Amino acid sequence: MSKDLDVPEMIGQYLRAHGYDGLVNTDQECGCSVDDLAPCGQFQTECFSAHRIKVTGGEFDELFFPGHKDTCAECQGDGHSQAES
């Protein structure tokens, strides 16, 4: 018998299986890792699958951006502002 999954576990499995690092809500400027989904305690319909970029010198050590890293125009070009090389 398979284990029943709760919503965070189902979302985490989907994100991992499809190569995402977490979720992002660009309207609220928040993101969360697949290993710590919805630390705010709730999922919002405005959250989208995202990739993670490590950063230095800012308030956070990582930022989340919508979509896959390999299809991100900023990642393929000059990079995101604050991102490490």
- State pLDDT tens for residues 15-26: 999 999 999 998
Measured in whole angstroms, how far is the alpha carbon of residue 84 from the centre of its chain? 17
- Residue 32 falls within a domain, yes or no? yes
Residue 39: CB atoms within 10 A of its CB come to: 9
Task: Give the residue-averaged pLDDT of 40-64.
Answer: 86
Beta-bridged to residue 55, according to DSSP, are 83
Question: What pLDDT sits at residue 66?
Answer: 92
- Residue 16 falls within a domain, yes or no? yes
Measured in whole angstroms, how far is the alpha carbon of residue 61 from the centre of its chain? 13
**Domains in the chain, number:** 1
- Residue 81 falls within a domain, yes or no? no
The share of the chain scoring above pLDDT 70, in percent, equals: 86
- Residue 84 falls within a domain, yes or no? no
Tell me: pLDDT of 54 over 80. yes
pTM of the model: 0.79
Domain around 49: 7-76
